[in-house]
Structure 1
């Protein structure tokens, strides 16, 4: 009766285990790199592009020049 509940363990894979692990690790690394790249593009790159586009759309070079001139940024040592 005691031996009826006992099952035999499957033999461990001895040949080709390194190759199968490497193949699985490469697949996981590839998938994670795709996810990381897409996440970076969506969360960092696209908002940065929008901020830069908004900045240059509303940028007034003359007003910026007048602000710097008033602050004394442009000082000449000659004459």
Structure 2
């Protein structure tokens, strides 16, 4: 079964939970999100892709590590 391209980023409750987790806890890696959500790395990868595509989250690389932050979060969070 193919994934629907028209699905909105928050149409899946897991994406809403991931977004809430990121908003409440600040920058998180994909592995941290997977562990907190009890999901596989691949599942989280897909949900982050959709959230990023819909500009709900963005990725920031610091010291070679990729973090996900809320799209409306200040970039200064990672620079401290």
Q: Same fold (TM over 0.5)?
A: no
TM-score (norm 1): 0.20
Q: Find the structure with the greater CA-based Rg.
A: 1
Q: Where is the helix percentage greater, Structure 1 or Structure 2?
A: 1
Q: Which structure ranks higher in relative contact order (CA pairs < 8 Å, sequence separation ≥ 6)?
A: 2
